[in-house]
Amino acid sequence: MADGLARDASIFVAACVCGVASGLFGIGGGVLLVPFLALFFAFGQHRAQGTSLVALIPPTGLLAFLAYARAGYVSWKIGLLLIPGVIVGGILGGLLAKRLQPQRMRQVFAGVMLVLGIWQAAAVWWR
C-alpha cells in the first residue's frame, strides 16, 4: 500500500507541475499530463489521453482563471463564441481518434508546435 501511496504522491506532484504550466500559459495542461502519464507512470497512449480528459472535466483552471480575470485579461465575447465549437469538435476528435493512427497524428502536431514555438520565442527575443 505504501507503494501505491508513493505512486499517488508522485502523480499528484506531476499534476501540480502541469498545473503551474496551465496557469502560467493559460492552457489545459493535458499537453504535459499525457506525456507525463505515459513516460513516468507507464500508461498506454489511449489510456493516458482518456485519463487526461478526466482530469480536464472539473474546472481545474478556475483559480488561474480568477487571477487573470482580476487583472482584466479575459475576452468574454471571443471565449464564449469558441466554447461550442470546441465541444462539438471534441466529440468528432474522439470518434476520429479510434480510426486514425494516433502516432502519426501526434508527430504532425508536435512538428507544428515546434515550428510555432521557435517562431514565437524568436520573434520576441531575437533582437
Partner 1 sequence: MTLMVLLLGLAVGVLVGLLGIGGGVVLVPAMVYLLHLDQHMAQGTSLLILLPPVGLGALREYWKQGQVDVRVGILCALGMLVGGYGGGLIAVPLSSRHLRGLFGCFLILAAFLLWRKPQPKSPLGDSVGEESSRG
Length of the chain in terms of residues written: 127
- Please state the closest distance from residue 103 (CB atom) to partner 1, in A: 7
Q: What is the CA radius of gyration of the chain?
A: 17
Report the distance separating Cα 51 and Cα 85, nearest Å: 22
Which positions from 4 through 33 interact with partner 1, judged by CB under 8 A? 8, 11-33
- Please state the closest distance from residue 38 (CB atom) to partner 1, in A: 6
The residues near 123 (Cβ < 8 Å, ≥ 6 apart) are none
- Please state the closest distance from residue 21 (CB atom) to partner 1, in A: 6
Report the residue number, 1 or 83, with the smaller CB distance to partner 1: 83
Number of residues that bind partner 1 (CB under 8 A): 106
Question: What are residue 28's phi and psi, to 5 degrees?
Answer: -75, -35
| 105: helix, strand or coil | helix
Report the residue number, 2 or 98, with the smaller CB distance to partner 1: 98
66 binds partner 1 (CB under 8 A): yes
Instruction: Tell which one of 1, 2, 57, 101 touches partner 1 (CB under 8 A).
Output: 57
Which positions from 78 through 107 interact with partner 1, judged by CB under 8 A? 78-98, 100, 102-103, 105-107
Cell numbers describing residue 52: 487526461
Site string for partner 1, 35-54 (x = CB under 8 A): x-xxx-xxxxxxxxxxxxxx
Report the distance separating Cα 31 and Cα 79, nearest Å: 20
